[in-house]
Amino acid sequence: MRSHLPAAALLAAVMLPVAAVAAEATARLPALSAEDSRRVGALMARMSVDEKVGQLNQVAGADATGPVSPAKAEDLAAAVRSGRIGSMLNIRGAAATRQYQQWAMRSRLKIPLLFALDVIHGYQTVFPVPLGETASWDLGLIEQSARIAAIEASASGIHWTFAPMVDVARDPRWGRVMEGAGEDPWLGAAVARARVLGFQKRRLGDTDAVMATAKHFAGYGAALAGRDYNTVDMSLQQLHDVYLPPFKAAADAGVASFMNAFNTLNGVPATGSRYLQTTLLRRQWGYDGIVVSDWGSVGEMITHGFARDAAHAAPLALNAGNDIDMESHVYDKALAAAVRSGAVATPTLDAAVRRVLEMKARLGLFKDPYRFSDERRERQALSNPAHRLVALEAARKSAVLLKNHERLLPIPPRVRHIAVIGPLARARRDLEGGWLVNSSPQHVVTIAEAIKARAPAGTQVTVLDGCDVDCASDAGFAAAEAAALQADLVVLAVGEGWDMTGEDRSRADIGLPGRQNELVQRVARAGKPVAAVVLGGRPLILNTVAEHAGAILLAWLPGSEGGNAIGDLLFGHVNPSAKLPITFPRSVGQIPISYAHYMTGRPAGAVRAPYRSQYIDSPNTPLYAFGHGLSYTTFEYTAPALSAAAIKADGKATLRFTLTNSGAVYGEEVVQLYVHDEVASLARPVRLLRGFRKVGLQPGASAQVEFTIDRATLSFIDASLASVVEPGSFRLMVGAASDDLRLEARLEVLP
Ligand code: NOJ
């Protein structure tokens, strides 16, 4: 059993030369050539205030991904021709982007447009939703999927994706957890970097690279009560320690743009936050890319009660550091007047405009405004079978085996009759997931079809929904129970539909939708072994499933190839290797919940004692912890050795150990390093992820695994917001999950 693709040759066409790029230093935005600098300078000298404001005005084309109805095409064309629009979102296709670019070329200064789009988990080829793909902990694969999304999107004329979302999120009620990398800053930073490098092809400039966006700056993932667009209130120390590292990683990887956020942070709308956008991003981080608002968020500062009106909002946003106004039309209405009245200084306006023009120059658009809009390339890129193979690999590597009691999975050949039951058994569109650019459900293989295709000849496969995904009625439950009774094994396909997570999809109850839990109970009444396949874009409350199913495979919303991947995993053609990037709680009452919690003065013990930090009606522990994920093989962790018992704060040590595949099949293990700073000037979390490796081993084989322990591993953000390594004792823990730690060592940091 190997997680290998069938057609390696096809895949080679899109594989990155990883060895060649691994040694490359941190990527930054490419410097501008002398010629481009002169070109931008000359243009700026000729631009009127209105033309400058036009470069900062971004409007939507056909599809609305926000609450405002888009203008009619002829109005947009006229606005483009008059130079009042600098970039557009939601126009796509080589032909359509070419058409709009032609209008831009008729404007006085012939400044090309930028075309932006939310390319969240693929363009034509659909990959698992980002949270699911993060569960692979496979940075090469994640970079690869972003690369393919960029190859496809750029061939359709797109210059700029509004991805990756790098918000750390610890509240699964928030539907947008689906779009991010989960709860952890370290994993989030690594994934942010991989995605930026993938979208931008490590260095912008080629026609198959797109600008990436680190969003939403900042704190959006901590929306109170998990309700989208809601208030965020947290200490700056928490912000810096937990929520900012993925943004910093994206900036260090040379991300072309940042998007600010809908939320207020400690009372100030992120869009109007001078602290975030100017003090931190520009001055402290030295960031020189573009900052774009979120959809309408410049105007929403009025609704927040932070700006009086458009005339007030425009200078507030620009002076705070927001370069481009996406779809609130506030800059269009009020920015020129603000410049004329002195509310915005000309150098401030010019700096924002220059950043936009420089980006257009980096993309080569002044030399050839149509270089991304090539219909022949578009046809080829959107029908490349190699892309589909990477989507298959991504879906295989993203599915987490949450439970496997008595090795119920993989499905043994002796099973003669399988009942595939549940609202998602025959789903196609749901497998693709939400927020797609192109949906082709007709090309998606269902879970039931995938099982039929892989079941040994002569196996009977019965398929039955039981209810639809909303599961309002129990009318089909009796038939489902009867079908289960006839079978040797039940595969139960339950979970969320494609449109139950994402933006504007907060849920107060994150259990299985409707009466699906009752369906699970009814099917289990038949007394047959049940393997559940769970779909969803967020952590769900799975107690009922865990109680009644012997095995649970969490497939997320796995994309174009999800059905095939699930089939491969169920039958053991591929061994599951994914691990949770976010905690699965037992109840909504435990939220927010993270593996990286604090000790408190009264930690709960293994045995219940009074007056402890605990619930009277629930354990503190989650149902499935961060980092959890099983395999069809077993791994042993042995022989830990730390190169030094004590180091200086700026020193290094190496932690080595042996990992052995002690089972009977090939497997990949995500080895995790956690650190606990025992005594510090601020109380520190009980454990923090500070390293990981994904290691593939044949049965019986061993590998030496090594982690470097250094400043990055040991530091934290102190009360003055400085990154410090404080002297004292550190516990280093290595294991298979945050709640399955196998090895421990102690390191002393000397004063
Ligand atoms: C609002 C979302 O918050 C943001 O992530 C997205 O990029 C924009 N809409 C544009 O669709």
Residue 606 confidence (pLDDT)? 87
Sign of the alpha-carbon dihedral angle for 536, 540, 542, 544: negative
279 located within any domain = yes
User: Six-digit token pair at 413?
Assistant: 């050949």
Q: Are β-strands 264-265 and 268-269 bridged in parallel, bridged antiparallel, or unpaired?
A: antiparallel
Q: Are residues 305 and 220 in the same domain?
A: yes
Q: Which amino acid is located at 606 in the chain?
A: A
Q: In 3D, which of 732, 570, 737 has the Cα closest to residue 670?
A: 737
626 located within any domain = no
pLDDT at 703 over 80: yes
Which domain-ending residue is among 379, 405, 422?
A: 379
34 located within any domain = no
pLDDT at 494 over 60: yes
Residue pLDDT, tens place only, 418-446: 999 999 999 999 999 999 999 999 999 99
Q: Are residues 575 and 692 in the same domain?
A: no
Which domain-ending residue is among 350, 379, 408?
A: 379
Q: Are residues 81 and 176 in the same domain?
A: yes
Which residue has a Cα nearest atom 3 of ligand 1?
294
Residue 77 confidence (pLDDT)? 92
Distance, CA 118 to ligand 1 centroid (Å)?
A: 7
Q: Are residues 406 and 521 in the same domain?
A: yes
Q: Are residues 482 and 407 in the same domain?
A: yes
Better pLDDT: 15 or 412: 412
571 located within any domain = yes
Which residue has a Cα nearest atom 1 of ligand 1?
295
Q: What phi and psi, each to the nearest 5 degrees, are found at residue 214?
A: -85, 115
Ligand 1 in reach of 66 Cβ (< 6 A): yes
Residue pLDDT, tens place only, 68-104: 555 677 889 999 999 999 999 999 999 999 999 999 9
User: Six-digit token pair at 235?
Assistant: 């200490």
Residue 111 Rama label (left phi>0; alpha psi -120 to 50; beta)? beta
Supply the mean pLDDT for the chain.
95
User: Six-digit token pair at 270?
Assistant: 């992120």
Residue 611 Rama label (left phi>0; alpha psi -120 to 50; beta)? left
pLDDT at 2 over 70: no
Query: Relative to the CA of 327, which ligand 1 atom is closest?
Result: 10
CA atoms within 13 A on the CB side of 520: 28
Question: Cα(132)–Cα(691) distance, rounded to whole angstroms?
Answer: 20
Distance, CA 603 to ligand 1 centroid (Å)?
A: 40
Which residue has a Cα nearest atom 8 of ligand 1?
295
Q: Which residues contact 102 (CB under 8 A, 6 or more apart)?
A: none
Q: What phi and psi, each to the nearest 5 degrees, are found at residue 20?
A: -70, -35
Residue pLDDT, tens place only, 462-482: 999 999 999 999 999 999 999
Ligand 1 in reach of 138 Cβ (< 6 A): no
User: Six-digit token pair at 300?
Assistant: 């929403």
User: Six-digit token pair at 141?
Assistant: 């694969």
Contacts of range 310-314, beta carbons closer than 8 Å, 24 or more positions apart = 310/334, 311/337, 311/338, 313/272, 314/338, 314/343, 314/344
What is the domain-level CATH number for residue 281? 3.20.20.300
Q: How many C-beta neighbours within 10 Å does residue 550 have?
A: 20
Q: How many C-beta neighbours within 10 Å does residue 351 have?
A: 15
Which residue has a Cα nearest atom 11 of ligand 1?
65
Q: Are residues 403 and 358 in the same domain?
A: no
pLDDT at 4 over 50: no
What is the domain-level CATH number for residue 734? 2.60.40.10
Question: Cα(287)–Cα(248) distance, rounded to whole angstroms?
Answer: 10
Cis check for the bond before 218: say yes or no (omega within 30 of 0): yes
Ligand 1 in reach of 295 Cβ (< 6 A): yes
Q: What is the CA radius of gyration of the chain?
A: 26
688 located within any domain = yes
164 located within any domain = yes
Question: Cα(561)–Cα(283) distance, rounded to whole angstroms?
Answer: 44
Ligand 1 in reach of 215 Cβ (< 6 A): yes
What is the domain-level CATH number for residue 535? 3.40.50.1700
Q: How many C-beta neighbours within 10 Å does residue 223 have?
A: 23
Q: Which domain holds residue 84?
A: 49-379
Residue pLDDT, tens place only, 233-281: 999 999 999 999 999 999 999 999 999 999 999 999 999 999 999 999 9
Residues with catalytic roles: 294
Which domain-ending residue is among 590, 605, 622?
A: 590
Q: In 3D, which of 298, 273, 161, 278 has the Cα closest to residue 219?
A: 273
- Helix/strand number for the chain, H first, E second: 25, 26
Q: Are residues 61 and 95 in the same domain?
A: yes
Distance, CA 206 to ligand 1 centroid (Å)?
A: 25
Q: In 3D, which of 362, 488, 270, 452 has the Cα closest to residue 35?
A: 362
Ligand 1 in reach of 118 Cβ (< 6 A): yes
Q: Are residues 395 and 374 in the same domain?
A: no
Count of structural domains within the chain: 3
Distance, CA 89 to ligand 1 centroid (Å)?
A: 10
Q: Are residues 412 and 267 in the same domain?
A: no
Q: Are residues 147 and 226 in the same domain?
A: yes
Residue 1 confidence (pLDDT)? 44
Q: Are residues 265 and 406 in the same domain?
A: no
Distance, CA 295 to ligand 1 centroid (Å)?
A: 6
On whether the CB atoms of residues 432 and 441 are closer than 8 A, the answer is yes
Residue pLDDT, tens place only, 568-600: 999 999 999 999 999 999 999 999 999 999 999
Question: Cα(569)–Cα(551) distance, rounded to whole angstroms?
Answer: 12
Query: Relative to the CA of 262, which ligand 1 atom is closest?
Result: 3
On whether the CB atoms of residues 418 and 459 are closer than 8 A, the answer is yes
609 located within any domain = no
Ligand 1 in reach of 503 Cβ (< 6 A): yes
Q: Following CA atoms 178, 182, 186, 190 in sequence, which dihedral angle do they give, to the nearest 10 degrees? A: -20
pLDDT at 14 over 80: no
706 located within any domain = yes
Question: Cα(464)–Cα(102) distance, rounded to whole angstroms?
Answer: 53
pLDDT at 15 over 80: no
Residue 29 confidence (pLDDT)? 85
Q: Give 311: exposed, middle or buried? Use CB within 10 Å, 0-12, 13-18, 19+.
A: middle
On whether the CB atoms of residues 693 and 655 are closer than 8 A, the answer is no
Q: Are residues 365 and 452 in the same domain?
A: no
pLDDT at 3 over 70: no
Better pLDDT: 286 or 9: 286
pLDDT at 309 over 60: yes
Residue 8 confidence (pLDDT)? 44
Sign of the alpha-carbon dihedral angle for 310, 313, 318, 323: negative
Distance, CA 578 to ligand 1 centroid (Å)?
A: 28
> 3-class SS at 637?
strand
User: Six-digit token pair at 55?
Assistant: 């470069």
